[in-house]
Amino acid sequence: MNYVIGVDVGGTFTDVVCLDEHGEVLVTKTPSTPEDSSIGIMDGLSKVGHMLDLNLDELMRRTFRITHGTTVSTNTVLTWTGAKVGLLCTAGFRDILGIRFGIRETPYDFTVAQPDTLCPRYLRVPIRERIDYRGEVVAPIEDEDVKAACELFKREKVEAVAVAFLWSFKNHEHERRAVEICRRELPGVYVCGSYQIQPEIREYWRMSTTVINAYVGPKLSSYLAHLSQSLQTAGFQGQLLITQSNAGVIFPEVAMEQAVRTVLSGPACAPAAAAYVGKALDLRDVITVDMGGTSFDVCLIKDGKPVTALESAVGGVYHMKLPLVDVRTIGTGGGSIAWLDKMNILHMGPLSAGALPGPVCYGKGGVEPTSTDADLVLGYLNPEFYLGGEMALQVEPSYNAIKEKIADPLGLDVTEAAWSMRKVIDHQMVDGISLVSIQRGEDPRKYTLVVAGGAGALHAASLAKTLGIKRLLVPKTSSVFCALGGVIADVRHDFVESLTLRTADVTPEALNQGFEHMKRKGDAYLEKEGVSIKDRYYLRSVDMRYKGQYHELEMPVPSRGPVEEEIIDQSVIEQMVEEFHQLHESLYSYRDNVDTEMLNLRLAACGKVPTPVVKEQPFVSRNGQQHQKGERPVYFEELEGFGATPIYDGESMEVGNVVLGPAIVELKTTTIVVPPGANIEVTPYDSFLIEFTA
């Protein structure tokens, strides 16, 4: 038997997912080891081996691929532990990085300090050189400026150098030259040029992305080298792949060069896993939600593909521009604290009790009532069966905290206060879902909600009801979605080329040439990675806008057959213009009659990796009654109060079992709330499907 393995290292747990040739899935969690993540990884792999009755060496020899999702890069930025970076910039423009195009996130509160840059000003060195908007040299590059900068960097023990000159995406000769000199003068120092990282118009975004790359590059490189070594020592001879924020995977060598592509990759693979799990049930349009202790992630998947975004800000401050899976995160979770302001207005969060002290009911010193406390008081959570009984919850302290801090000051009874807390939390998540659906012109009612995270299934049905969503899927593997998403992710390399032309002046030849050029670059990578030609595919899109607009819409090139054989002709361009008008109208309520522009061409060169199909389990019975393990009063808005509600043992329920709401289904890692008017069924694919019948 052969295996593919996905490893996802989170802050608390390292998740390992192992798939065999038949699609059998094995899942395990081990504590993460932040001082050296590879220790936790090797522990997890040993544990999997143990479950398969294999020693680590045998498991490693039979594993032909390990996909690894890491938060090393993201955390490096968030915790300010990256390399000492030097930046070479065009003389006269030393502060583009610091100016951050002038933005202040809190325009009414000046007591927040301006964020520090990832590269201090004395290490931002102006270089005499200049290229103009046509890509023509206005002033040649002065090599001695670069050499002098290298001397400074040596003295200051700089660990990484970023080079970002104006207009380098039009003509990268100066950047290339500077990179070359730095590599020669500064052996052992990590060097990257913006033309290699993000060759697009808008110098701030290009520079900021490149500086982040330099900031995380050295640390990620040494981490990956160390991990590869550990795996090899353990007997692994297969291919290690690293997940990117675009939910594709790349080879470690590429990840080292393009380290920024792993920043914000943490939640990126979860939507792909949701799509994978949903595919078996033929769900192609899904919204994934993941509610944990401190945050709520939401992502929209249309026709099997997660929506991507181009612009993002790490920690809300450090901007980068790269295609990434558009997972929106809001600070709402089970730990969100309820509080009243001096005018007695109820707020939930943004403060969270986190895991420590945690909600009041944890009994670990938390005194502020949280969302979880409200869920407990309302009967949704079982005090004896939290985390499968590993942690006992205390109802009375929760009750008292809500009474004292919320109910009494508002003149409400405790139930109503708890219900109010829950409604506010639910609304924050509804807002989050609207952001990725309604505000993008997508009707959420046409989507299925795929629910993950410890607290997700407690709230998901309420959210669905508010939004008019009829179906929800709760996969049992959802707690290891990121690791699973990595296993099934395809190899992916993103490229961009600037066009900046009125559509009327764009010739089909220009598009064909641009895409062909990027395809060749992609093929070179895929070749190196051993992806056979039949397993390759390409995603092409064009950033379009009305003449003079600042923001673009990314329009896919209409596909009319196998892309690699397809030649763009005038009719394809016309079709794209019409599709742009339509999308603009659906998003913004009007279409304009002015010219359109094509700004950038984008191509993703992808390689399919062999993925086992989700295994179908045989039907057992429709009747799930025997899995009822008890009954307790649970509050439902539909019942205008508490109602005696049957509790089911989700772990023992069998394929085909259907239960009518109101009901609670308890699993080790989560609790599913099924409100009146909905029913829940165990699917053949290791998941629960909730449907509203009314």
Q: Which is closer to another protein, CB of 205 or CB of 386? A: 205
Question: Given candidates 431, 523, 649, 654, which one binds another protein under the rule CB under 8 A?
Answer: 431
Q: Is 628 in the site for another protein (CB under 8 A)?
A: no
* Shortest separation between residue 232's beta carbon and another protein, angstroms: 44
Q: Which is closer to another protein, CB of 188 or CB of 590? A: 590
Question: Given candidates 347, 471, 521, 629, which one binds another protein under the rule CB under 8 A?
Answer: 347
Number of residues that bind another protein (CB under 8 A): 69
φ, ψ at 253 (rounded to 5°): -65, -40
Question: Given candidates 22, 50, 104, 528, which one binds another protein under the rule CB under 8 A?
Answer: 104
Contact 518, 605 (CB under 8 A): yes
Q: Which is closer to another protein, CB of 104 or CB of 528? A: 104
Q: 81: helix, coil or strand?
A: coil
Q: Is 640 in the site for another protein (CB under 8 A)?
A: no
Question: Given candidates 11, 22, 81, 103, which one binds another protein under the rule CB under 8 A?
Answer: 103
Q: Is 114 in the site for another protein (CB under 8 A)?
A: yes
Q: Which is closer to another protein, CB of 64 or CB of 204? A: 204
Contact 431, 397 (CB under 8 A): no
Site string for another protein, 40-79 (x = CB under 8 A): ----------------------------------------
DSSP 144-192: HHHHHHHHHHHHTT--EEEEE-TTTTT--HHHHHHHHHHHHHSTT-EEE
Q: Is 548 in the site for another protein (CB under 8 A)?
A: yes
Question: Given candidates 13, 64, 93, 537, which one binds another protein under the rule CB under 8 A?
Answer: 93
Q: On the CB side of 644, how many CA atoms lie within 13 Å of its CA?
A: 2
| Residue corresponding to tokens 């000051």 | 409
Among the listed ranges 63-71, 422-430, 517-525, 555-563, the one in contact with another protein (CB under 8 A) is 422-430
Distance CA 290, CA 496 (A): 31
Q: Is 329 in the site for another protein (CB under 8 A)?
A: no
Q: CA angle 566-532-526, nearest 5°?
A: 80
Distance CA 409, CA 346 (A): 10
Q: Is 157 in the site for another protein (CB under 8 A)?
A: no
Q: Is 348 in the site for another protein (CB under 8 A)?
A: yes
DSSP 655-674: TT-EEESSEEEE-SS-EEEE
For 117, 144, 197, 585, the CA distances from 149, given in Å and listed in that order, are 19, 8, 21, 51
Q: Which is closer to another protein, CB of 90 or CB of 479? A: 90
Among the listed ranges 223-231, 284-292, 357-365, 546-554, the one in contact with another protein (CB under 8 A) is 546-554
Among the listed ranges 116-124, 258-266, 392-400, 677-685, the one in contact with another protein (CB under 8 A) is 116-124
- The structure tokens listed for 486 are 């990595």
Q: CA angle 301-307-309, nearest 5°?
A: 160
Q: Is 546 in the site for another protein (CB under 8 A)?
A: yes
Restricting to residues 470-529, name those near another protein by CB under 8 A. 500
Contact 272, 286 (CB under 8 A): no
Residues forming beta bridges with residue 301, ordered by sequence position: 286, 306
Q: Is 83 in the site for another protein (CB under 8 A)?
A: no
* Shortest separation between residue 199's beta carbon and another protein, angstroms: 12
Q: Is 281 in the site for another protein (CB under 8 A)?
A: no
Q: Is 592 in the site for another protein (CB under 8 A)?
A: yes
Q: Which is closer to another protein, CB of 344 or CB of 652? A: 344
Q: Which is closer to another protein, CB of 419 or CB of 688? A: 419
Q: CA angle 609-612-614, nearest 5°?
A: 135
C-alpha R_g of the chain: 27
- The structure tokens listed for 402 are 């809500």
- The structure tokens listed for 380 are 């949704």
Specify burial of residue 260 (Cβ count, 10 A radius: 0-12, 13-18, 19+): buried
Q: Is 462 in the site for another protein (CB under 8 A)?
A: no
Among the listed ranges 114-122, 241-249, 523-531, 642-650, the one in contact with another protein (CB under 8 A) is 114-122
Q: 104: helix, coil or strand?
A: coil
Q: Is 668 in the site for another protein (CB under 8 A)?
A: no
Site string for another protein, 392-421 (x = CB under 8 A): ------------------x-x----x-xxx
Site string for another protein, 436-455 (x = CB under 8 A): ---x----------------
Q: Is 549 in the site for another protein (CB under 8 A)?
A: yes
Q: Which is closer to another protein, CB of 317 or CB of 620? A: 317
Contact 665, 674 (CB under 8 A): yes
Q: Name which of 375, 290, 387, 381 is nearest 668 in CA terms.
A: 387
Contact 10, 70 (CB under 8 A): no
Q: 301: helix, coil or strand?
A: strand
Q: Is 188 in the site for another protein (CB under 8 A)?
A: no
Specify burial of residue 394 (Cβ count, 10 A radius: 0-12, 13-18, 19+): middle
Mention every residue, 6+ apart, whose C-beta is less than 8 A from residue 462. 422, 426, 673, 675
Residue ranges in contact with another protein by CB under 8 A: 92-96, 98-99, 101-114, 120-122, 132-133, 138, 166-167, 201-205, 341-348, 410, 412, 417, 419-421, 423-424, 427-428, 431, 434, 439, 500, 546-551, 584, 587-590, 592, 594
